[in-house]
């Protein structure tokens, strides 16, 4: 696994009001953050009985969920260095050609600054609202990822799978740089998906909870002959990191740390968010 000595800090943006995103993007670029991590849901049902992975849901039905690729394209157009990752995009809720066009266009707009973070979803009610199968979402995601890579690499793609079948189509504009795919999820199928189809793994959990899966990812990548290939790992830290915590992350080979650099959560005032970002930058980015 290729490692780097420098830590890259990304800002978690789950539930943040949409009108805060542009000021946050501008400030993040100026301060030197690596990028922004945007969460995705197509639709949030009023009644949700599906258990949220990892515990209590960190958002409510009144929080904003703007389309991530519209927002990324817009923020990319007014920044020049900042990167963007979906944390994570519920891939099997959409047709692969819709995903390929949206992500590919955002990559072109941003000059290659997008990372496709993909997951299979957890909310049965959301799939039901879109008349989409929850049961087959894992197998469909595997087919989707293969279709996306072909489409982005060549600008044309055909599908002859179990769930997606279509004759050859052309998709333009074609991305000029490779779009990294980071896989989310904590199950054994998610590990296999990351190992065989991904360029990285992205987790909403902290290093303590993610460590066993990180080791499993390394073992499986060695077993399939990909142990020396570049592979990114992104985890979260919901407080300002101490020196000891940073050292632990670096020893674990983690380059990408998603942080909440302000107090008060996603509902904090915009000025509170910006002030927190500046304090974080003074300690960790300068």
pLDDT at 5: 47
Structure tokens at 281: 């930058």
pLDDT tens readout for residues 86-143: 999 999 999 999 999 999 999 999 999 999 999 999 999 999 999 999 999 999 999 9
- List the CATH number of the domain containing 183: 3.20.20.30
The band of 6, judged by pLDDT with boundaries at 50, 70 and 90, is confident
Q: Where are the alpha helices (DSSP H) in 157-269?
A: 188-197, 207-223, 243-251
Q: What would the pLDDT profile of 68-95 be if each residue is shown by its tens digit?
A: 999 999 999 999 999 999 999 999 999 9
Residue 239, CA distances (Å) to 58, 170, 212 in order: 15, 45, 21
Q: According to the model, what pLDDT value does residue 10 have?
A: 97
- Would residue 185 count as lying in a domain? yes
pLDDT (tens digit, 9 = 90+) per residue, 21-55?
Answer: 999 999 999 999 999 999 999 999 999 999 998 78
Residue 1: pLDDT over 50: no
Q: Is residue 275, in this structure, part of any structural domain at all?
A: yes
For residue 61, pLDDT beyond 90? no
Does residue 255 belong to any structural domain of this protein?
Answer: yes
Q: Which domain holds residue 213?
A: 8-284
Tell me, yes or no, whether 3 lies in a domain: no
Asked whether residue 17 carries a pLDDT value surpassing 90, the answer given is yes
Q: By percentage, how much of the chain surpasses pLDDT 70? A: 98
Classify residue 1: in a domain, yes or no.
no
Which residue shows structure tokens 């959301």? 126
> Would you say residue 2 lies in a domain?
no
SS3 15: coil
pLDDT attached to residue 55: 83
C-alpha radius of gyration, the chain, whole number: 18
Judged against a pLDDT cut of 50, whether residue 173 lies above it is answered with: yes
Please report how the helices 188-197 and 137-154 are oriented relative to each other, as an axis angle in degrees rounded to 10.
10
Residue 3 has pLDDT above 70, yes or no: no
Estimate the crossing angle of helix 96-109 against helix 137-154, to 10 degrees: 40
Own/partner contacts of 225-232, CB < 8 Å, gap of 24 or more, are 226/195, 227/1, 228/1, 228/2, 229/1, 229/2, 230/1, 230/2, 230/199, 231/1, 231/2, 231/198, 231/199, 231/200, 231/201, 232/180, 232/182, 232/199, 232/200, 232/201, 232/256
pLDDT over threshold 80, residue 2: no
- Whether 269 is in a domain gets the answer yes
Q: Are strands 165-170 and 156-160 parallel, antiparallel or unpaired?
A: antiparallel
- Asked, for residue 279, whether it belongs to a domain, the answer is yes
- Asked whether the beta carbons of 146 and 114 are under 8 A apart, the reply is no
* First and final C-alpha spacing in the chain: 27
The residues facing 118 across adjacent strands are: 89, 183
Distance CA 107, CA 114 (A): 6
pLDDT digits (tens, 9 = 90+) for 237-283: 887 788 888 889 988 889 999 999 999 999 999 999 999 999 999 99
Report the number of distinct structural domains present in the chain. Answer: 1
How much is the pLDDT for 56?
87
pLDDT single digits (tens) 206-231: 998 899 999 999 999 999 999 999 99
């Amino acid at each position: 696994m290729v490692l780097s000595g420098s830590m890259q800090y990304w800002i978690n943006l789950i539930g943040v009001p949409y009108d805060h995103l542009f000021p946050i993007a501008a400030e993040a670029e100026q301060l030197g953050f690596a990028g922004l991590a945007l969460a995705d849901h197509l639709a949030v049902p009023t009644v949700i009985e599906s258990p949220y992975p990892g515990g209590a849901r960190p958002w409510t039905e009144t929080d904003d969920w703007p389309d991530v690729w519209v927002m990324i394209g817009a923020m990319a157009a007014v920044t020049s260095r900042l990167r963007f990752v979906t944390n994570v995009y519920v891939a099997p809720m959409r047709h692969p050609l819709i995903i390929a066009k949206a992500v590919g266009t955002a990559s072109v707009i941003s000059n290659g600054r997008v990372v496709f973070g993909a997951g299979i979803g957890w909310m049965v009610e959301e799939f039901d609202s879109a008349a989409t199968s929850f049961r087959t979402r894992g197998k469909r995601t595997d087919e989707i990822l293969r279709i996306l890579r072909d489409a982005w690499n060549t600008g044309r793609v055909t599908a002859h799978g179990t769930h997606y079948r279509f004759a050859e189509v052309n998709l333009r504009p074609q991305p000029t740089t490779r779009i990294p795919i980071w896989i989310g999820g904590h199950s054994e199928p998610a590990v296999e998906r990351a190992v065989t189809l991904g360029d990285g793994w992205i987790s909403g959990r902290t290093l303590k909870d993610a460590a066993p899966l990180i080791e499993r990812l390394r073992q499986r990548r060695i077993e399939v002959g990909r142990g020396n290939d570049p592979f990114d790992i992104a985890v979260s830290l919901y407080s300002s990191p101490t020196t000891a915590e940073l050292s632990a992350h670096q020893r674990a080979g983690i380059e990408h740390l998603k942080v909440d650099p302000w107090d008060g959560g996603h509902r904090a005032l915009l000025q509170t968010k910006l002030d927190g970002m500046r304090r974080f930058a003074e300690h960790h980015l300068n």
